[in-house]
Amino acid sequence: MKVWFITGASRGFGALMTKEALASGDAVIATARNPKTVTDRFGEHPNLLAVALDVTNEAQAKEAAAAGIARFGRIDVLANNAGYGLLGAVEEATAEEVEKLYATNVFGLLKVTRAVLPYMRRQRSGHVLNFSSIGGYFGYPGWGVYGSTKFAVEGLSESMAAELEPFGIKVTIIEPGFFRTDFLADTSLAISPASIADYEGTPAGTMRNFAAEANHAQPGNPARLATGIMTMVNSANPPLRMPFGSDTVAMIEQQHASVEKELAAWRELALSTDFPSDATALA
């Protein structure tokens, strides 16, 4: 039996992971701002501990981790799932909007991770799942600030994977594409109100209409993602990056091809900035 610590467990991917973990016989420390939303959804279950957690509150994160350890004795999987989106051109986002987004999507993830890792290091095992997005691999117009939080998560996760490997702790970056959850609804998505007229008709401006049109029409099946995460977590050698969705796979392939093409075009200039090699200097 694995013990999961899941943030944002009351809805979306968090709730689906909680459901899958409980169904497989695992235990779940299911956190939400209001833990009643978890118990209302799943009822009383011997393997479920619903805990209050605002990920921006580090003291509360430590209390939640300690409560989970007191109940189950260990934490095997940390799923840093809590977060939300911000739609609007980079220039349109206010400092307050940016800081609030980072407080949850980046600093919140760090606070929860710092609360849980001491227990994983002590047991010399564990698996950290950091939820990113295809927007953390490729910058979309209109999603720049949100994407930047996920780029940060990707960079942190790469370093963590190397840092935690000596302790037997795995790290996987979860990269969903567009899935049919409520992510594009106002419960999970903020839209910057400071609309600049110049962006109307541009890719960033057009993207503002995307949420209303695409919500609940996304190609990804959330239940299958949750099942896929269970398969990945139970594998012998889980990956550093786990993309989910045909749109994510296509965009990663497109991004790789674009980077390779650009590197080939500018390779000579890129290499010209090194000091001459000893052989060249002696010639």
Q: What is the rounded distance in angstroms from the CA atom of residue 61 to the CA atom of residue 115? A: 6
> Structure tokens of 224?
């299958």
Q: What is the rounded distance in angstroms from the CA atom of residue 153 to the CA atom of residue 112? A: 13
> Between the CA atoms of 119, 124, 126 and 131, what dihedral angle is there, to the nearest 10 degrees?
80
Q: What is the rounded distance in angstroms from the CA atom of residue 179 to the CA atom of residue 184? A: 10
Residue 175 sits at φ, ψ, to 5 deg, of: -120, 80
Give catalytic residue positions. Answer: 132, 146, 150
Q: What is the rounded distance in angstroms from the CA atom of residue 112 to the CA atom of residue 77? A: 12
3-class DSSP state for residue 278? helix
3-class DSSP state for residue 10? coil
